[in-house]
Chains A and B, each alone.
Chain A
Amino acid sequence: MSRLYVPPVPIPVESPELVRDRARRRTRGLGALFALALLGIGARGAVLCLQPDTQTIRQASVQRWGQVTIRERRGEVLDRTGRRLATSLDTPSVAVDPVAVRAEDREELIADLARILELDASDVRTKLARETRYVRLKTKVHPATASAIQTLDHPAVWTHRDARRYYPEAGLGSQVLGFVDSNGAGRGGLEKAMDSYLDGGQVVMQRRRDRRGLGVDGDQGEHRPDAGMTVHTTIDRSLQRVAERALDGVVERHEPKAAFAVVIDVKTGDILALANRPTFNPNALGTDPAPRRNHLVQDAIEPGSVMKPFTIAAAIEEGKLEEFTPVDCEGGAFYIGRTRIRDDHPHGVITATEVLKYSSNIGSAKQALNLGPDTFIDYYEDFGFGHRTGIELPGERSGRMRDPAKIRPIELATTSYGQGMTVTGLQLAMATASLGNDGVLMKPRIVTEITDADGLPAWTMKPTPVRQVISPTTARTVSRMMVSVTEPGGTATRAQVPGYQVAGKTGTAEKVENGVYSDARIGSFMGFLPADRPEVAIVVSVDEPQKGSRYGGIVAAPAFAEIGIESMRILGIEPDPELEAEVEQLADTKDARDPLVLARRDGGWELPDLRGRPLREVLAGLQSSGLQIAVEGSGHAVAQSPAPGTPIRDGELVAVLFN
């Protein structure tokens, strides 16, 4: 090997043995370091697998479980014939995974999506350009739109199931039904009371999802798309509509603060209709809570004269009174201690029936005084006043009844005609129904049955008698007496239902405001029909009518009649043949004449010619004037005193002979 001269290397070359040994040592050292690092990382990884920290777990649950828990479909609420009152609509949303869209069919997909979803094509294009794997294109689409999307069968596009509560009848019976809040929880009405049954649950279903929201490994846990149970109610959709419409008429005529009506099946205690004004549309919730109030259940009001039939019933049941027992009404003023009670229309001695017919406070008070506080209050309580009915609706009030041990005679007297106590409209309706049900008080029923997804009953409620309050004989007697209220001369001829006898009672309660009786009134009418074979009991109350009259016989009775007529038609109850003939006869003569109008004269009235006019027209015409009318016979008027054209003042007596 020939090479140039190399000067001595200043640094000596190490021997190969030294170099190799050192290399081996260092190789081993590096290997050990690498192995140690791998072991450390391995241990760290095992910890991450077995004991992940809380932040990881939370993040995992948020993205994998929290988002995937779906609320099961809420159950439906049906009326008594199976028509939907509340249901849940599928309102799916449509999403896309932009990564999975291939360039070759991109434009076609954009066109399809824009067409089906009615979106702007450029909008869809922008969304598909996003660097993500999940873009929501549209929410709350129609189920038909969702199925159109599904028929595209594109791997990048899919639909989410989602449901929205929907009330097909909009505002119909909205206080009974209630509504569902944004969290899917029932609020108010049956939605709240039956929430545990209607709610399909949201924990039942567990499903892991991938980032696009698709199920990864199938359902875990039991998924029941129809897990919510179906609530079968006693509400009759048609009758409910009638009640709502009748209240609309009341609102239009009298502009009250509130009005409410309820229709009860007297034999079963079923609530066929329950309507409130003001009202709301649960499909478009506002923020005002006032229209959501179910006055019939949630308000305890002073009832007034509608309590008199129950006072009379107690007296008859106790053998203290009979149908035609004379009662001295003291000429309109009666002292209890130093307190005077009075009748608006003074009477002398009248029959027990007439006490109801003319609504005499004095006649009523005497019965309560005669019975004594314990017996009398017992009867009221037996009729259900002062106790919750147990209806499956939220917020029920019990009303307030005076304590018989502490009651003073004047309080006993006022209680007999519904002052100094409070009741709910529903209590009143149930007690009224008991008079038409041979004295048996029923528990009100709003839900008959709750069925599960398989249609099997999970909960049922049979008609439930609470107690026999009065004997059937007493009940029928009181019914007959109450018919007089709607007959000529009674306080509520406007409650008449052509072709059917109506047993009823008016009430005009003074409202207590700030502890004192105010000028405000609640006009009510309660009753049942047909009086001789009762089917339905109806209560109508009008709270603070602003326009027109304030009297129950005028503000509430027409709505009662309207509901009564339609309920007879809807329930298919045959009219009374005799009364039907009279209806036709009336219809013949009524239109033939000028309407009966009283003309004002010298602060009083000028008495018109009544001859030839039918009984009910005469009564209706004179009733609102405050005149006293003495009626003899029936049919058409043949004679009158004073003579036609005579000036006459309030409270004076007009005698009319009918033949």
Chain B
Amino acid sequence: MSAVPHPQSPAMQGSTPRAAAKGQGWDWVLFGTTLGLAAFGLLMILSASSSFADLIYGDSLTFVVRQVGALCIGATVGAGILLSPYRTLSRLALPAYIAAIVGLMLVFSPLGVTVKGATRWIWIGVNLQVSEFAKLALILILSNYLARNEGRLHDVVGVVLPSFGVAAPILLLVFVEPDFGTTVVLSGLVGILLIVAGLRLYWVGALGAIAVAGLALMGSMAEYRMRRLTSFLDPFADPAGDGYQVIQGWIAMSSGGWTGRGLGTGVAQSGFLPEAHTDFISAVVAEELGVIGWSIVIVGYIVLVWRGMRVAERAPDLFGTLVAAGITGMLAAQAIVNLGVVAGVAPAKGLVLPFMSYGASAAVNHTISVAILLRISMMRPPESLAEARS
């Protein structure tokens, strides 16, 4: 029982001066960038999926409509968060954590939906990908725990190891779905939160080494993982198999040039490029809008990272800093891995591109995540920082 609440931990927030809790304007740049990426995403989903959707469902707008619906659900929840007190975030941590664990266990119940050998969804009227929400739950619960132990991160046995215990149920449940990609992202989130919370750098190095070893071990446990892990190095070694998708992405990009072929004129999504409107939507962007479109996406995520980390820096307390850093890290990691896969510098993971790829659960999760960032951005920075900046 070393987790004694620090006087200035979120648990003690009620006692902070009213002035500090009083809001300020939210981060308009973050808001605008998010809105822009989501709108751009809808346009590209329409372009990349309309012929396919028409073929399958007889309605070319099918995917766009679903994505808009998901964004609206996320925005509604997000609006609730924005209207709620800041403290609500830390109070939501435990319920969200429990809900995530229950949801992840439901995946293995009769409600579970299996696609291509992986059980990642539950059917509750719509297909829900629980692991998406588990990311957010993990960020909240771990941030809450680490903030409660502010200043004690050098206590490896008393603080750091128990934090793994907090994360373990979610990681294990996602891992056995199996969802290797999300497990890696979740592990990364644990790492980011520990680093920001103040874990000693040599322990960071040690954890990094353990992570690499873990990756290798997990990779060796299933042959398809190992192949996917290494095939990105030379997609042309198996152009019809493991390398197929990446090569098709490259072909799409190669016909993009500076300005692209024009919206809706891409050839890749006409059956050549699998997952054109989901994981490989950035390749369609590059084909249809060229380097210019590709650069807009890259710049969009850099701005998102910049503003997200700025929110973390200016958060009123360690909990806010950790949540903001975790969310930003989650969005950044997904964007980096997804774009990295398309560019051929990362192994294929099946991760969506935040706000761009089609995917309802991810869209809801990411919208809520950004709403949380905005809620944190509405808080006045602590005085020491305000003084330093004044």
Contact = CB atoms under 8 A, between A and B. Distances in A.
Interface string A100-116: 10100000000000000
Given A9-B2, A38-B305, A46-B291, 18 more contacts: A16-B150, A19-B150, A20-B385, A23-B196, A23-B318, A26-B198, A27-B313, A30-B192, A35-B302, A38-B301, A39-B302, A41-B343, A45-B282, A45-B298, A48-B286, A48-B344, A49-B254, A64-B267
A216 interface: yes
A38 B339 CA distance: 8
B270 A216 contact: yes
Interface in A118-137: 133-134
B294 A46 contact: yes
B257 interface: yes
B113 interface: no
Interface in B178-223: 192, 195-198
B87 interface: no
A211 B301 contact: no
A162 to B, nearest CB: 21
B325 to A, nearest CB: 5
A372 interface: no
A50 B55 contact: no
B343 A216 contact: no
Given A23-B321, A38-B339, A59 B198 contact: no
A131 to B, nearest CB: 11
A17 B291 contact: no
A44 B344 contact: yes
A625 to B, nearest CB: 81
A48 B253 contact: yes
A164 to B, nearest CB: 28
A142 interface: no
A569 B322 CA distance: 106
Contacts of A134: 271
Contacts of A156: 55
B76 interface: no
A22 B155 CA distance: 16
Interface of B is mostly: helix
A97 to B, nearest CB: 8
B336 interface: yes
B253 A210 contact: no
A133 B271 contact: yes
Contact of B272 (A14, A20, A52, A210): A210
Nearest to B155: A11
Given A19-B318, A44-B344, A13 B382 contact: no
B270 A52 contact: no
A59 B239 contact: yes
B300 to A, nearest CB: 10
Contacts of B192: 30
Contacts of B195: 26, 30
30 contacts: A9-B2, A11-B155, A13-B151, A14-B198, A19-B150, A20-B382, A20-B385, A23-B198, A23-B318, A24-B313, A27-B321, A30-B196, A30-B329, A34-B305, A34-B332, A38-B336, A41-B298, A41-B340, A42-B295, A44-B343, A45-B291, A45-B294, A48-B253, A52-B253, A60-B254, A134-B271, A211-B270, A214-B270, A216-B265, A216-B267
Contacts of B247: 56, 59
Interface string A130-160: 0001100000000000000000000110000
A134 B272 CA distance: 11
Contacts of B6: 13, 16
B173 to A, nearest CB: 26
A516 interface: no
Given A20-B382, A37-B336, A210-B271, A49 B154 contact: no
A27 B309 contact: yes
A48 B343 CA distance: 7
A344 B236 CA distance: 81
A587 interface: no
Interface of A: 6, 9, 11, 13-20, 22-24, 26-28, 30-31, 34-35, 37-42, 44-46, 48-50, 52, 55-57, 59-60, 63-64, 97, 99-100, 102, 133-134, 155-156, 208, 210-212, 214, 216-217
Interface of B: 2, 4, 6, 8, 55-56, 150-155, 158, 192, 195-198, 236, 239, 247, 250-251, 253-258, 265, 267, 270-272, 282, 286, 290-291, 294-295, 298-299, 301-302, 305-306, 308-309, 312-313, 318, 321-322, 325, 328-329, 332-333, 335-336, 339-340, 342-345, 382, 384-385
Contacts of A97: 55, 271
A156 B6 CA distance: 66
Contacts of B56: 99-100, 102
B210 to A, nearest CB: 19
B295 to A, nearest CB: 6
B77 to A, nearest CB: 26
Nearest to B299: A42
Given A27-B309, A216-B270, A45 B342 contact: yes
Given A30-B329, A37-B336, A49 B286 contact: yes
Given A14-B154, A23-B197, A211 B272 contact: yes
A23 B192 CA distance: 11
B306 A31 contact: yes
Contact of A19 (B55, B151, B309): B151
B332 A38 contact: yes
Contacts of A60: 251, 254-255
A50 B291 contact: yes
A45 B55 contact: no
The 9 residue pairs across chains A and B that have the minimum distance between CB atoms: A211-B271, A210-B270, A31-B309, A52-B254, A42-B298, A14-B151, A34-B332, A13-B151, A60-B251
